[in-house]
Amino acid sequence: MTRSWWFVAWIRLRKALRRYTVREQSRFVWDWLKEPLLIFGSVYLCAAAVAQPFYVPSGSMQPTLGIGDLLIATKFSYGFNRYSLPFAFGPTPQQHFFASSPVPGDVVVFRKPGNESLTLVKRVVAVAGDRVQMKSGRLWINGTELPLSPAGVGKVEDGPGEIAPGSYFSADRYIETLPNGRRHPIYKKTWSGEYDETPEYIVPAGHLFVMGDNRDDSADSRVPAERNGVSFLPVANVMGRARVVIVSVDFVNAKGVWQWPLRIRSERTLTSVQ
């Protein structure tokens, strides 16, 4: 049986250490470890303070984000807290440092309320104090129906766990305009879905109302937590703002990892998130 590379490296390191004093051994070990530690520390600091990649496994944000998109979210956009760290878990922190609040239209990456080990991405449509309601599939904010302009037909992909994973279906595409003038695309397949008629929600202080752009396939703030939805999103759960898709891979239709390079969607690579 052949020896693994780490075992051989450990034997060589032990032999080398025998030739040195304790002090020299410490210096030798430090010289051996400092470069990988420096690299790891730099990457971790960058991911905590500047930007971090996130992978999109579902289709709730189509057409803005597709299944298999690898996006970059900037951490400095809204300030920092414990959730800014790449591997931090636990109860929601109460505040951000150097904080600025997300505004309607921003696409945000956040820890799911009630299950903070899960990272999601949705679009902010309303902030604290706003009144939000769905009527016949149309979004109303503060008593005003948002303008919706037809923008052709798009292809919606079913993701893992759905009826036909990897299959594409046609859906009407619209451009929705938020009260602050921000515009974004949405998909709409029906106007009589379960959450196309809702009561009026009033966003509480310190919270946001977020929705998926794929309106008929998104467990967002319209959906209560007990039904696996987001409900109102605490601002403290927000980790960063989605900025750019660096690469997109149609992994659902790939037969294995070896096919991923053949499934890269070049038209989505290096596209900004609006």
33, 48, 63 - which closes a domain: 48
The residue annotated as part of the active site, out of 75, 112, 122, 188, is 122
Is the same domain home to 24 and 120?
no
**What does the block give as tokens for 268?**
């989505």
- Assigned domain for 2 exists: no
What percent of the chain lies above the pLDDT cut of 90?
50
Both 17 and 87 in one domain: the answer is no
Is 1 part of a structural domain of the chain? Answer: no
Shared-domain flag, residues 90 and 204: yes
Position 101 confidence tier, pLDDT thresholds 50, 70, 90: confident
The string of pLDDT tens digits covering residues 23-66 is 555 565 545 554 554 443 444 344 444 457 788 989 999 999 99
Residues 104 and 227 reside in one and the same domain: yes
Q: Please tell me the number of Cα atoms within 13 Å of 227 on its side-chain side.
A: 10
| Chain segment 252-263, per-residue pLDDT in tens | 888 888 888 888
Residues 125 and 235 reside in one and the same domain: yes
In a domain, 42, yes or no: yes
C-alpha distances out from residue 239 to 85, 112, 137, 225, 269, Å:
9, 11, 29, 19, 23
For residue 30, the enclosing domain spans 7-48
Specify whether 265 is located in the same domain as 170: yes
Q: Residue 88 belongs to a domain with what CATH number?
A: 2.10.109.10
- Whether 14 maps to a domain, the answer reads yes
In the chain, the number of structural domains is 2
Residue 189: what residue type? K
How confident is the model over 195-205, as pLDDT tens digits? 999 999 999 99
Residues 191 and 95 in one domain: yes
208 membership: H or E segment, kind and range: strand 207-211
Q: In the 8-state DSSP scheme, what is residue 93?
A: P
- Do residues 69 and 182 share a domain? yes
Check whether residue 27 and residue 128 sit in a common domain: no
**The pTM of the whole model exceeds 0.85:** no
**Residues 127, 207 within the same domain:** yes
Rounded average pLDDT over 120-141 = 97
Give Dmax (Cα) for the chain.
79
For the chain, the first-to-last Cα distance in angstroms comes to: 55
Q: Catalytic: 122?
A: yes
pLDDT tens track for 216-240: 999 999 999 999 999 999 998 898 8
Strand ranges (DSSP E) for 136-232? Answer: 138-141, 144-145, 148-157, 168-177, 183-188, 201-202, 207-211
Do residues 124 and 138 share a domain? yes
Catalytic residue among 58, 60, 84, 221: 60
- Do 139 and 201 have their domain in common? yes
Q: Are 246 and 218 in contact (CB under 8 A)?
A: no
Q: Is residue 108 part of a domain?
A: yes
Least confident of 110-119, 186-195, 253-262: 253-262
User: Domain for residue 173, yes or no?
Assistant: yes
